[in-house]
Amino acid sequence: MLAAGAAAGLLASCSTLNYYTQAAQGQLELLSDARPIDDWIADPGTSTKLRHRLETARQIRRFAVSEMDLPDNNSYKNYAALKRPYVLWNVVATPELSLKPLQWCFPVAGCVDYRGYYDKGAAQAYAKELQADGNDVEVGGVAAYSTLGWFSDPLISTFINYPDGELARMIFHELAHQVVYAPGDSQFNEAFASTVEEVGVEHWMTRFGNGAMRDAYARYRGRKHDFLALLMKYRKALEQNYAVVDRGDAQKRVVKARLFQELKDEYQVLKGSWGGYAGYDRFFEQPLSNAHLASIATYEDFVPAFRAMLKRDGSFPRFYRSVRRLAELDRADRHRILKALAPPVTPAPLMVQRSEAPPAATPVY
């Protein structure tokens, strides 16, 4: 990986070389910090809480293979305890009066709307460069990501303390990316992984869940839906503001500032309806900008179509084969087929890079 990064950097620039080098080093350090789950469980120094979380993750991992036909490899069979709250930080940027994010293109993954750093300081330094060029920029922490099967992705301290349903959701989702991935088509990739995640958690809850667990997961899903619906409301309002032809840039800036203040105010009302739950407060830690909403996308638009495919195919293996055939098509063709499989529904947006804040006791691609 280091050699590949160096070669790519030499063909481009020193900044590109530095970026690929930090990415390679960060990935290698993560892998070197990981130890088998069995070793952690057998270690007398492992806390009872962590031992229980690892046993739960191991049971979820086995279910993913036996009941969902997800890859039976070494991913999520090791655990890494990091001394930071996130595994990496993503930088998202947009023009000042646009919600269209800047893109960066990489081998294998294709073009994406963010650039990831394992060091928060490096992410912030790059963000300042983008801001100096007049862009809106956000730096957001990521608890987990997928290497698409190129490496054995470990369980990480950044998400191991998530409630059982959310832990299962994350493992199923990231493993699904190893099954099918179409470079440069996040809408397709995320909707597929979200379908596998949703159906998988439903089956897992039926087998292993209890009333309290189901209620907790339902509350999580409800808060997530409410919060992202709020963000989509203001994203649409901002898009309309920027699209007004006879409105000058100065006036657009005034409307932009007003809309972001209204978003903050309405969030406080929403938070009150949750009984004061503060899991999304960290979204507002930085001054709000277009970049905060650029990472929001209606990635579940195709979930009804994928669910229809899964029901038609009758099993996960047949479903995966159907999805692989779609992934081999041109992007426009696969989108056309998916749109024909299910009628349009009210989008249930997903945020690519965020989730609810981890429990306070905890020191997620």
DSSP structure string for 287-325: PP-HHHHHTEE-TTTTHHHHHHHHHHH-SHHHHHHHHHH
Mean pLDDT in the chain?
88
H or E element, residue 351: strand 350-351
- Bin 262: left if φ > 0, else alpha if -120 < ψ < 50, else beta: alpha
Distances from the Cα of 342 to the Cα of 128, 226, 275, angstroms: 43, 24, 36
Q: What values do phi and psi take at 350, rounded to 5?
A: -120, 145
C-alpha–C-alpha distance, residues 160 and 123, integer Å: 24
pLDDT the model gives residue 294: 87
pLDDT the model gives residue 306: 96
pLDDT the model gives residue 343: 61
Q: Which two tokens stand for residue 102?
A: 């800047």
pLDDT the model gives residue 297: 61
pLDDT the model gives residue 265: 97
Instruction: Map tokens 């007004």 to a residue.
Output: 244
Please report how many Cα atoms fall inside a 13 Å half-sphere around the Cα of residue 265, on the Cβ side. Answer: 6
pTM of the model: 0.83
Residue 5 burial (C-beta neighbours within 10 Å; 0-12, 13-18, 19+):
buried
pLDDT the model gives residue 357: 45
User: For the chain, how many residues are written?
Assistant: 365
For CA atoms 24, 26, 31, 33, give the dihedral sign.
positive
pLDDT the model gives residue 344: 54
pLDDT the model gives residue 96: 97
Determine the 3-state secondary structure of 25 from DSSP.
Answer: helix
- Tens of pLDDT along the chain (365 residues) come to 333 343 344 444 577 888 989 999 999 999 999 999 999 999 999 999 999 999 999 999 999 999 999 999 999 999 999 999 999 999 999 999 999 999 998 877 778 888 999 999 999 999 999 999 999 999 999 999 999 999 999 999 999 999 999 999 999 999 999 999 998 888 899 899 999 999 999 999 999 999 999 999 999 989 988 998 999 999 999 999 999 999 999 999 999 999 999 999 999 999 999 999 999 999 998 899 999 998 776 556 788 899 999 999 999 999 999 999 999 999 999 999 999 997 655 444 433 334 444 433 333 33
pLDDT the model gives residue 13: 58
Q: Which one-letter amino acid corresponds to residue 292?
A: H
- Neighbour order of strands in the sheet with 78-80: 35-36, 78-80, 155-156
C-alpha–C-alpha distance, residues 68 and 315, integer Å: 8
Question: Quick one: DSSP state of residue 360?
Answer: T
Q: Which one-letter amino acid corresponds to residue 336?
A: R
Let me know: does 293 contact 321? Beta carbons within 8 Å: no
Neighbours of 344 (CB within 10 A): 8
